[in-house]
Each structure stands twice: as structure tokens, then as C-alpha cells.
């Protein structure tokens, strides 16, 4: 059945088997029907893109025995059992041990098609998550550190690799929670300074009276309470990288002294007269526009020029929603390891909720949601707090984004074939082309992507 999730029907009654097969086929799912479980088991393998629909009472291997064998091979394959009225208690018991659903005879075509559709969607999502987890395991180098598949994050990765082996100062800009320290760390780890210290200092979280001592260090007795010599952050980063986060919070007096270090490449500890040569790369990060701050006199223009030799802009998560599934799965796996719990699988409805959210807290907010998801604190609605939806976009924006996602999904499923996708969507080709232009969906790119 290739990579599309298909349905395997197992029924020894020929008339019932034919009816189920036709109902599933008319619903648009690939289907194969077998008179015995022994034949159907040839379709079952770990990771197989299949859903099993089986009668309970059959000669040879019955439905319950088939369920047991399928779950042994791959416990994530949904098994839907068909039972007569007398077998309902048996079918309910089977659900307790792993059956996905059961359908009581007699049933309508629409009824079984609806149940099968839910099972197929569950299997498709399970395989997609497994694919994401495999990708996370296999990714190496810069892709394994700076995660994402969107064009925007690919631009960031390329710039990191272009700048990593240089010693130029870099200014990283982006909203709170976008991962600026991660980018700074990547610049260090993929450059020639990787074997020396990476030293991070949050300028916004440090009392002003301690700033100078933290940056430059001090000699014993330099001030009240200085009982012993202290090596400052700049000196500790010698040969490596100094990362100054929230650089916009640095007091003007300290900006002047930092500028002197950048110009002269030497420091003096507080209470000392001797200059110490230093060779560290400066990477700064800011959530504010330093150009505007310098125009207002709140940030030194000459320091901005020194820091901003090269710049890396990190796009907010709302501008690269394609990265949400991969990042969420990464955070789910990390949280599961940290908490010693199994990693749950997100449902289709929950994934849609994630994709429609605007993520004002960016990647940090996404990680928080993943942590809560693993701990079982979210409930069915991942982003609902106190019974009200979390802040997001307007309804019109959410509906438009969801429509775009559906169109892209159908185009991928049909290998970029617009005619087939329009038929699948029940939408005239002219309307589909209009919406593709509206949402800037390139068919060429979609044709090259392979559905999991």
C-alpha cells in the first residue's frame, strides 16, 4: 500500500467482506480484503502504514488472536473489531488490552467509513511522529543543533556556518524566547574556538553594582567584600567566546569600558594596574532595536558599530510554523527523558491547535507546552488555560492558516498534482489555483516532498 495508510479487512463471510471493502474504498482509502487472518498477517510489519478491520468470530485465527499478533508486531497499529451483539462484551474486553475500536453488526457504510477514517488518521499521525523522531535521531551537525525545516531557519544555519570560523563580532537579534543563546552557542561550537570556554552573561539579570566586577574581575581587597581575587567573564573567555545577552540592558558607563576592550583587546581587573591581553570573540544579543536605542542616546553608536560587524536575525516562531511539529517533538522527547516518563503522541486535533497558535513566547513557550504535555497537565486542549483559549491570532487568520495547511497536505498526498488535489478537496481547479496564489504555495516544492 506504499506509504499512504491503507485498510486491511479480515472477514470470512464473503458478503460482509465485500460490503466492508466497498464502504472503505468509497470513502477514499486504499483497501485489501482477506478471508483469513493468516493471509492478512502478511500485510503487518513494524511501521506498516495499515489499519486492521477484522471480524471477531472467524475460523482458524480469530479476531482476538489476530489482535494479539498485531500488537506483538507493532502495538501502534489500530485494530478495529467487528462483533455481533453476542460478542460485545468480548470486544469491549479487547479494547482494554489494545484494540482501537469495535463496530457492532449490523452497521451502515457511513458508520464504518467514519470509524475507519479516525483509525487511519491516528495511524498516519503515529507514523508521522515516528518519522520526526527518526529524523531527530539521525540529524547531525548544525541541523541537529538548530532544528527546523523552514526556509527561514535554513538561512540562519547557513549564516552560522559562514561566520563560525571567523572572529568577527556578531549581533543576534530576535524576540524573547527565539533561542538567541542557542545560536551563539552554535557559532562557538562550529568555529575554531570550540575547544575554549563559551561564557554567557545575561546583562539584564545582573545588578549594576556587580557588573564591572563580573566583566573584568577584581583583585583581593579591591572593594569591601572582595576577600579574594576573581577572574572576570572576559578573561575567563580568553581564546573562546563571550556571549552578552540582553546587551541593551548594559549601563552606559559599562558600554564605554566594553568598547575599550574591543578596541585595545586588553583588560584591567578592579584594583589592579596591570593590563591583561585578551583574545575572545564577542557575540551580543538583543530583543530591542539597538539602532533606535542609539538614536535616543540609550546605547552608544560606536559600540553598536563594533558589535554589529555581522548580524543574525532569528525569525519569530509564528513566521516559521512549519517548524512547530519537529520542535514540539524534540521538546517532548527531551522532557520525557528529563522526567523519566514515556513520550506521548500528539493527536491530530492537538497538532492543528499548535499550528494555529501565534506563539507570542516563541520557542520557549512551545517548550513549556511540551513539558506540560508530557506531564499530562494540558488535557485535550494543549493551549487552553482556565477554560479560555490562550492568546493567538484572529479567527480569520487561524481559519486561513488552517485552510492553507489542508491544501498543502492534499497537494503533497497527490505528489503536487493539482487536478488530483482539487478532486480530493472537492474544489474546482480554478478555485484551488486562486488559493495557491493567495497562500503563495509553490507546486514545485510540494512535488519534491515525500509524505511519511
| pLDDT tens, residue by residue, 31-46 | 999 999 999 999 999 8
Determine, yes or no, domain membership for 175: yes
Same domain, yes or no, for 189 and 265?
Answer: yes
Residue 304: partners with Cβ closer than 8 Å, 6 or more residues away: 290, 291, 294
Position 30 scores a pLDDT of 93
Position 218 confidence tier, pLDDT thresholds 50, 70, 90? confident
Q: Which pLDDT band holds residue 390 (cuts at 50, 70, 90)?
A: very low
More confident residue, 367 or 138: 367
- The answer to whether the CB of 243 falls within 8 A of the CB of 181 is yes
Q: Which pLDDT does position 182 carry in this prediction?
A: 94
Residues 12 and 90 placed together within one structural domain of the fold: yes
CATH number of the domain that residue 117 is part of:
3.40.50.2300
Does residue 374 share a domain with residue 304? no
The enclosing domain of 289 has a CATH number of 3.40.50.300
More confident residue, 307 or 430: 307
Name the band, by pLDDT with cuts 50, 70 and 90, for residue 85.
low
What is the separation of C-alpha 362 from the centre of its chain, rounded to a whole number of angstroms? 11
> Is 2 or 27 the better-scoring residue by pLDDT?
27
Domain range for 44 is 6-137
Specify the range with the lowest mean pLDDT, choosing from 91-100, 167-176, 246-255, 303-312. 91-100
Comparing C-alpha atoms, which of 104, 113, 83 is closest to residue 21? Answer: 113
* 418, pLDDT greater than 90: no
> Within a 10 A sphere around the Cβ of 96, how many other Cβ atoms?
7
400-427: average pLDDT: 77
Among 224-233, 353-362, 442-451, the minimum mean pLDDT is found in: 442-451
438 pLDDT more than 80? no
Q: Assess if residue 46 is contained within a domain.
A: yes
Query: What are the DSSP calls for 148-205, one per residue?
Result: --SHHHHHHHHHHHHHHTS---EEEE--TTS-HHHHHHHHHHTSTTTTS-EEEEEGGG
Split into its structural domains, the chain has a count of 3
269 with 325, same domain: the answer is: no
Kindly state whether residue 452 falls inside one of the protein's structural domains.
no
Q: Which of 116, 137, 158 is the last residue of a domain?
A: 137
pLDDT of residue 391: 46
Q: Give the residue carrying C-alpha cell 557588573.
A: 211
**Alpha-carbon distances of 90 from 56, 80, 82, 94, 346, rounded to whole Å:** 9, 13, 11, 6, 29
Question: Angle 109-138/14-26 helices, nearest 10 degrees?
Answer: 60
The per-residue pLDDT for 409 is 73
Among 291, 315, 339, which residue terminates a domain?
315
Cell of 139: 540529524
Same domain for 365 and 347? yes
Same domain, 16 and 118: yes
Name which residue leads in pLDDT, 181 or 4: 181
Of 315, 338, 366, the residue at which a domain comes to its end is 315
Single pTM value for the model: 0.63
Do 198 and 269 reside in the same domain of the chain? yes
Helix (H) or strand (E) holding 83: strand 79-83
Residues 154, 179: one domain? yes
Amino acid at each position: 500500500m506504499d506509504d499512504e495508510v491503507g485498510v486491511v479487512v479480515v472477514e470470512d463471510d464473503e458478503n460482509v467482506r465485500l460490503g466492508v471493502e466497498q464502504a472503505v474504498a468509497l470513502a477514499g482509502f486504499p483497501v485489501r480484503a482477506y478471508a483469513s487472518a493468516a493471509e492478512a498477517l502478511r500485510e503487518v510489519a513494524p511501521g506498516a502504514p495499515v489499519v486492521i478491520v477484522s471480524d471477531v468470530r472467524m475460523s482458524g485465527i480469530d479476531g482476538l488472536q489476530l489482535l494479539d499478533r498485531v500488537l506483538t508486531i507493532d502495538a501502534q497499529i489500530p485494530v478495529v473489531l467487528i462483533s455481533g451483539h453476542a460478542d460485545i462484551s468480548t470486544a469491549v474486553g479487547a479494547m482494554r488490552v489494545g484494540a482501537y475500536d469495535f463496530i457492532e453488526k449490523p452497521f451502515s457504510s457511513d458508520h464504518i467509513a467514519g470509524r475507519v477514517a479516525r483509525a487511519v488518521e491516528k495511524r498516519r499521525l503515529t507514523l508521522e511522529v515516528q518519522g520526526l523522531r527518526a529524523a531527530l535521531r539521525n540529524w547531525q551537525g548544525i541541523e541537529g543543533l538548530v532544528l527546523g525545516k523552514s526556509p527561514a531557519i535554513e538561512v540562519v544555519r547557513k549564516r552560522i556556518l559562514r561566520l563560525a570560523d571567523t572572529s568577527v563580532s556578531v549581533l543576534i537579534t530576535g524576540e524573547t524566547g527565539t533561542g538567541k543563546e542557542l545560536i551563539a552557542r552554535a557559532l562557538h561550537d562550529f568555529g575554531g574556538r570550540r575547544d575554549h570556554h563559551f561564557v554567557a552573561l545575561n546583562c539584564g539579570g545582573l545588578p549594576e553594582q556587580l557588573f564591572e566586577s563580573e566583566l573584568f574581575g577584581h583583585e583581593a581587597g579591591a572593594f569591601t567584600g572582595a576577600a579574594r581575587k576573581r577572574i572576570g567573564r572576559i578573561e575567563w573567555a580568553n581564546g573562546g567566546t563571550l556571549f552578552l545577552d540582553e546587551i541593551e540592558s548594559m549601563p552606559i558607563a559599562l558600554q564605554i569600558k566594553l568598547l575599550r576592550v574591543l578596541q585595545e583587546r586588553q583588560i584591567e581587573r578592579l584594583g589592579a594596574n596591570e593590563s591583561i591581553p585578551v583574545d575572545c570573540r564577542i557575540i551580543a544579543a538583543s530583543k530591542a532595536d539597538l539602532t533606535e536605542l542609539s538614536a535616543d542616546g540609550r546605547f552608544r553608536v560606536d559600540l553598536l558599530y563594533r558589535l554589529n560587524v555581522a548580524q543574525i536575525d532569528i525569525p519569530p516562531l509564528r513566521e516559521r510554523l512549519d517548524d512547530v511539529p519537529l520542535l514540539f517533538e524534540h521538546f517532548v522527547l527531551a522532557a520525557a527523558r528529563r522526567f523519566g516518563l514515556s513520550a506521548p503522541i500528539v493527536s491530530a486535533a492537538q497538532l492543528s491547535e499548535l499550528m494555529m497558535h501565534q506563539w507570542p513566547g516563541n520557542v520557549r513557550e512551545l517548550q513549556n507546552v511540551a513539558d506540560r504535555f508530557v506531564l499530562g497537565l494540558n488535557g485535550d486542549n494543549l493551549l487552553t488555560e482556565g477554560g479560555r483559549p490562550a492568546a493567538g491570532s484572529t479567527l480569520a487568520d487561524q481559519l486561513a492558516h488552517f485552510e492553507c495547511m489542508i491544501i498543502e497536505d492534499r497537494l503533497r498526498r497527490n505528489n503536487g498534482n493539482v487536478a488530483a488535489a482539487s478532486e480530493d478537496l472537492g474544489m474546482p481547479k480554478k478555485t484551488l489555483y486562486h488559493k495557491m496564489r493567495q497562500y503563495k504555495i509553490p507546486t514545485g516544492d510540494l512535488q519534491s516532498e515525500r509524505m511519511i
